[in-house]
Amino acid sequence: MEQYNFSNSDIDLACEQVGKFLADSGVERREALRIKLTFEEVLLEYQSKFGTDATYKLKCTKRFSAIRVEMTLPGESFNPLEKENDDGALINGLLAGIGLAPTWSYKGGKNHIVFIPKKKPTSGTVKMIAAIALAFIVGMILNLLPQGIRAGANDYVLTPVTNAFIGLITAVSGPLIFLSILGSICSMGNMETLGKVGGKALKIIFLYMTVIALLMTAFICLFYPVKPGGGGGASDFSQILDLIYNIIPTNLFEPFVTGNTLQLIFIAVIVGLAMLALSSRVNAIFQMVEQFSSIIQTIMSGLSSMLPILVFVLFTGMISSDNLGAILNSWKIIVVIVLSVVVYYVINLLRIAVAKKVSPALLLRKAWPTLMICLTTASSAAAFTTNVRDANKKLGIDKRLVDFGTPLGQVLFMPGFVAILMGMATGFAESCGIEITLPWVIIGCITSLLVSFAVPPVPGGAMMGFTVVFAQLGVPMEVMGIAVALNAITDFPCTACNVSGWQLTLIDVADSLNMLDKESLHKNN
């Protein structure tokens, strides 16, 4: 931790230190430059407010894969990130939640500004392929050994490691989902902002996501034998009612003990609305939510960095147990998921083109830069700048709506993730001999939809979603390794479906709010 003042020379020194730290920590060059420039703007705002003689402390830390830049300034409360319009708190909260903006807080008589940049992304697909290749080699070697040694390796090494890892994921997933939902609601700032600014956009997101989830689920189930169910057994429709009734817990603490994710979502919504209603009277709680969320996300980041190890262990166990058939049959899951998101994207593109009387080819050409960045990087953050620019300049969406709607959709609009969850669950249910009934499908659709809203866009989020949905539908956790490996492949088209799909859907939102420049939309630019 070093101390600086707000003189021009010290501002230059501090910015250089931050830039060097980010470069040494492996942060992508463009991301590092963005943070450095934002940090400089923050310092200049504080210089203007407090003068050049005021001092602050700068702390740059790196623990595991979590990188953090924090400045602490004692004195009067002043938020340099606050925008002039009423939507500023909400927009800043959403951007901070997806790692695209710093966060500000005031506690103990000090202003705190925190940047949490992401390291330069390494290819998760390459790591997964390497883990699977190594698992094949080790698994084949184990198959050549006596049965007793193979059984011992499975019973005393592979199975315990798998159970411990999945246990950790299950333990962390509940608090992370709860804090993610609670943090998203708290970022609205107050009930007025929630009602005036977020109400319509949230309503459209929930409506569209519900319809898309139903359609995608129906499409996926075309490839699998679905039975009507009934007969009073486990597949009876009473399961659906039980699922809905059980969303409401009998007390506030039980879901944290039992790990009931749907109940945790319900509690997070209720607590979040209550906190917004109390507003300034619970400022300390707002800060605690932010701090606990950072702790849990750091833990999840550490777990996600170990995913290739989990994949290696699970695949080695499957190969040494002669379960190659389950691995080889997974190609169908990939095809079904990719087809479902492609069909959705094409239908959505054509629907908007017809409704707005614009050429589908022109619409696709305007959406193409964002679409291609997502297809090649599987990163919504990497496409954010292009997404915002093209939504405003090429699609004619008012900048105020783009600034608010883009990060909101990036957090909540995830049809591709619904396709992954349902596609994985249905595919593994078939390969594991689980009866796929209509009530089972409906429960899967409801659970996948709620989980897609609840799981934050952080490393390990998909794995956490698999844990929740598989547990709800009775899919054995032994397939988790295959699911994680397949997700590394399907994440590319599904991220493109999420980000570019919402960019196009935002045209509908803009039109309904009279915030669409139709001349720009139809212009051949």
88, 115, 142: which is the final residue of a domain? 115
Residues 152 and 206 in one domain: yes
Residues 110 and 129 in one domain: no
What is the domain-level CATH number for residue 453?
A: 1.10.3860
Structural domain that includes position 394: 124-522
pTM: 0.70
Residues 169 and 110 in one domain: no
Residues 45 and 167 in one domain: no
pLDDT at position 278: 81
Residues 109 and 149 in one domain: no
What is the domain-level CATH number for residue 42?
A: 3.30.565.10
β-bridge partners, 103: 114
Residues 101 and 231 in one domain: no
- Class of residue 329 by CB neighbours under 10 A (exposed 0-12, middle 13-18, buried 19+): middle
Q: Per-residue pLDDT tens for 394-441?
A: 999 988 788 777 877 777 788 999 999 999 999 999 988 888 988 899
pLDDT at position 234: 46
Rounded CA-CA distance 165/177 in Å is 18
- Class of residue 363 by CB neighbours under 10 A (exposed 0-12, middle 13-18, buried 19+): buried
Q: Per-residue pLDDT tens for 295-343?
A: 777 777 677 777 788 778 877 877 777 555 566 667 889 999 999 999 9
Residue ranges in the chain whose pLDDT is less than 70: 64-65, 83-100, 118-125, 184, 187-202, 229-240, 280, 301, 322-329, 456-460, 525
- For 448-482, give one letter per residue: b (16+ CB within 10 A) or e: bbbbbbbbbbbbbbbbbbbbbbbbbbebebbbbbb
Residues 26 and 147 in one domain: no
Residues 109 and 135 in one domain: no
